[in-house]
Structure 1
Amino acid sequence: MNDKKQQLIITALNLFNERGINSVGINEVLAVSGIAKRTLYLHFSGKDELILATLAWRDGIFLRWLAERLSGASSAESVVSSLFQALDDWFRNEVQELRPFNGCFFINTAAEMRSPASPIGQYCHDHKMKVRELLRQHLPDMDEEFIDLLCFLKEGAIVSAYVNQDKEAAKKCLSLAIKALNH
């Protein structure tokens, strides 16, 4: 990938993640990145295309991170524990590649777009389905109802950690998931 394109994506992602996609304009992305408007439009037709690129960038980072965190788990209980420990680390800003914790970029972006059918809304949905599939791969013997529960708990923990500033949210969800797993 072209260095300037990557710089635009990273700058936009940092700004969007910190303040939201509707609060940050193209001119601010250009000013912070130090890249000319002409160069931006060589790579992106407009802000929506830049937003999609930031979603794709964050998607790759998040999925690689989560896959790595789940990779050592050898039982259903250790997968569940690894998931919520990973979330706990993220909420506490202990995950360098995901810092700072400002909630879920995909939830926040989808909420700001207010159109699940838009390409941006669809990308946010697709990301959540990729995370679900990653969990499914690590929990092949679990039924869909448990995978649903795990995803609901994960999403609830993320929202609670951000909106309520409840840094214990992942630990609370871990105990609930383990109870459900053992019933």
Structure 2
Amino acid sequence: MDKRQQLVVTAFDLFYRHGIHAVGINQILQVSGVAKKTLYHHFSSKEALVAAVVAYRDAAYLEWLNARLAEGEQTVTGLIHTLFMALDDWFNDRVEQLTTFHGCFFINTCGEYGEPGHEIHRLCARHKAAVVNMLADYLRRTGTAAPATSRLAQTLGLLKEGAIVQAHVQGEKRAAITAGELALRLAAD
């Protein structure tokens, strides 16, 4: 792993566990073992590092989710089942590549960058849109008609977000199972 990647991975781990504003540059440098000069060679500011961390998690999460959805049965019910079982695995720390569950990194980050016009906030919003677009793509593959595809993708995205928050904030580790059952009932209607 090169120094830039080492900084991004270390910063992600610290930001995800403790929060972005709670973690200082010196802590990232200490844990990563990288010199301050090297950090500023790669990133002009802490905010530039945060943007790189958001991009890193975005790529990792979308890659994981796409792989999981591709494994499932390519029907509407199969997609719903696969999505919420994947979330259940994540919430219950059975997904090594996503690390220990501390809620949604993008939701947590938006809590710290609350202004919708802020670049970090916009990067997080783009991630959320990419997830819904991915769900819509998988729904189209099932033969679901266009208006229903968009509506169902939005619904699944909303249920996914609610399950993440309930699992993190309330410690309800079965939230994905409950949301999946609700999604199946809604899709049947």
What residue is the counterpart of 1:146 in the other structure? 152
Measure, in 1, the Cα distance between the counterparts of 2:156 and 2:163. 10
Match runs of 1:12-161 below 5 Å: 12-72=11-71, 73-140=73-140, 141=144, 142-161=148-167
The question of whether the paired residues in 1 share the 8 Å contact of 2:110 and 2:124 is answered with: yes
- Aligned AA (2:162): G
Q: Deviations over 1:14-48 (max 9, x none)?
A: 00000000100111100100100000000000010
TM-score, normalization: structure 1?
Answer: 0.97
Measure, in 2, the Cα distance between the counterparts of 1:38 and 1:116. 32
Q: Could you say what secondary structure the match of 1:101 adopts?
A: coil
Measure, in 1, the Cα distance between the counterparts of 2:184 and 2:103. 24
Measure, in 2, the Cα distance between the counterparts of 1:143 and 1:63. 19
TM-score, normalization: structure 2?
Answer: 0.94
What residue is the counterpart of 2:188 in the other structure? 182
Q: Could you say what secondary structure the match of 1:22 adopts?
A: coil
Aligned residues: 182
Q: Deviations over 1:47-71 (max 9, x none)?
A: 1000000010111110000000000
Measure, in 2, the Cα distance between the counterparts of 1:54 and 1:77. 34
**Structure 2 portions without partners, runs of 5+:** none
What residue is the counterpart of 1:168 in the other structure? 174
Greater mean alpha carbon deviation, residues 70-79 or residues 158-167: 70-79
- Aligned AA (2:14): L
Q: Deviations over 1:77-136 (max 9, x none)?
A: 100100000000000000001111000000000111111211100000000011011101
Q: How has the CA–CA distance of structure 1 residues 132 and 62 changed in structure 2, closer, same or farther, with 3 Å as cutoff? A: same
Q: Could you say what secondary structure the match of 1:143 adopts?
A: helix
CA shift at 1:143, angstroms?
3.2
CA shift at 1:169, angstroms?
0.2
CA RMSD between the two structures: 0.9
Q: Deviations over 1:114-170 (max 9, x none)?
A: 112111000000000110111010001133222221111000000000000000100
% of aligned pairs identical? 44
**Structure 1 portions without partners, runs of 5+:** none
